[in-house]
Structure 1
Amino acid sequence: MPLPLAEHTWARGNIIRVADCAGEGAATRVCTACGALGELEIFPQTDEHNWVTRPGKEPSCTQAGYTESVHCDVCGKTQKLAESIPPAPHKEVTIHAMRPTATLEGRTEGIRCGRCGVWIVPCKTLPKLGSEGTEHNMTKESPPLTQGSDESAAFTSDADFQDFSHVTLNDEIVDESNYDAKEGSTIITFKPAFLKTLPVGKHTVKIVSTTGTARGMLEIKAQATPQTEQVTLPSDTLPKTGEISGDYSWLVLLLLSAGGLIFLNRKKRMAKQRNQI
């Protein structure tokens, strides 16, 4: 009579999947006696995550940034969300104007970003000038203006408009947004908003062309001080103490004469009464 089969002796075989935060694990079971494969051994899912920090990024002038975030690189769960940081404002750097000469080009004042290099207000290239000392006539100048008025100030150079380069006021280049330029020959009209920023006094105007310079003078006058009207009170019309109108001088003399006569008459009567006693 054959003997009954012995029971399998199971042992853990190969690990098919390690249990982690993303799911269960599994391993094979092998009989150590006969090598038969049994049912898979299942391992429960774990709660342990492999947290990874993603560094933040500083914003630039053209791109938004974000804060750091933390997530699990196994299951993808997020522990800390990244927050968006809006783009930073431009870091304005002023590029100073440079007057042209007979040998070098110049430029107007400009503004660019010190972070990204973008031009906010581009510089305008000013062409080389004609020979130093070359002059043009200022054929028309603005009359004096009152400080704070809404008037504009026009100046005309006899230079051709196609040769126009720039305008200076007190040897400082004026931004082209502060004036209008047009033909005939070269007409420059300063805008009221710009004129209101000028102090009282005389200012040297130069219309610079590649063929020479026309010079003029812009005068800003102070506003007139308003006159205060003096109000005459009734008491101001009364004569002061001791003053006598000339129309009543005869009446005063008459009263004095009458008083003198009364005094003398009274004195005589008193003397007569003493003599009778």
Structure 2
Amino acid sequence: MPQNHPPVGDDSIAAAAARLREAAATATPVSPVRDLIGRDDVKAAYAVQQRLTTERIASGATVTGRKIGLTSAAVQRQLGVDQPDFGVLFDDMAYADGSVVPIDAVLQPRIEAEIAFVLGADLTEGPLDAAQVRAAITHAVAAIEICGSRVADWDISFGDTVADNASAGAYALGTRQVPLAGFDPVAAEMTMTVDGETVSTGTGAACLGDPVDAVVWLARQARELGEPLRAGQVVLSGALGPMRPVTPGCVVHATVSGLGTVSVAFSTDSASASA
């Protein structure tokens, strides 16, 4: 459970942001930032994330949505927290189904399979309850999230991963778009393979009991922090099974029942490629 802390100063927040910025700029993981902002200070961690987000937008990046993390009770227990977290998705993180992703596009890449939702309405007013969120979702798609950590060896606490944009790296969406009227996220079954070998399985119920409930949580948190969810944005709702590492040259294939498939491959070298 998060503990009470003395307020983290602006200098510490700036120093944490600088450390993570350097990791991204040099493609070299750095030491955790919890020595600067604490292990579980939610406010300080999101302040670091927001600082880095503002910088990316100023440099020309466009926000395409959000990702939700820590939706598994087991992972929450591991990190000693009682809530999910979220990060920001940018246009340069998006890859088409079937893309080859440069192996160095994401630091220390690990993969998850999940359900993504695309919004057709802003979530700025009202109760932001399940009924409102469901009405705002135009469709669901199968998704692969490529998580990455700027923190060396994935040595993360809650504060580290939140500050590091919830360990967001890249993502790919499937091409089959299914309205919620024809799809039950809770009952969805997921299988993810790497080079044909099954490495992760799970169901929609693994994501906070219902992936739509994860979006409800996110909508409320995003509005509270002053950056509400908007029409057209993508929401990666959280992993349906364990996260797995990837290596150069591997091919990842995920199937979500009712939504079809999505796949990516990873290059064997560091040649650049466009999303």
Decide: shared fold, TM above 0.5.
Answer: no
Task: Indicate the structure whose relative CO is greater, using CA pairs within 8 Å and at least 6 residues apart.
Answer: 2
Structure with greater strand percent: 1
Return the TM-score normalized by structure 2.
0.23
- Which of the pair has more CA radius of gyration? 1
| Greater helix fraction, Structure 1 or Structure 2 | 2
Normalising by structure 1, report the TM-score: 0.23
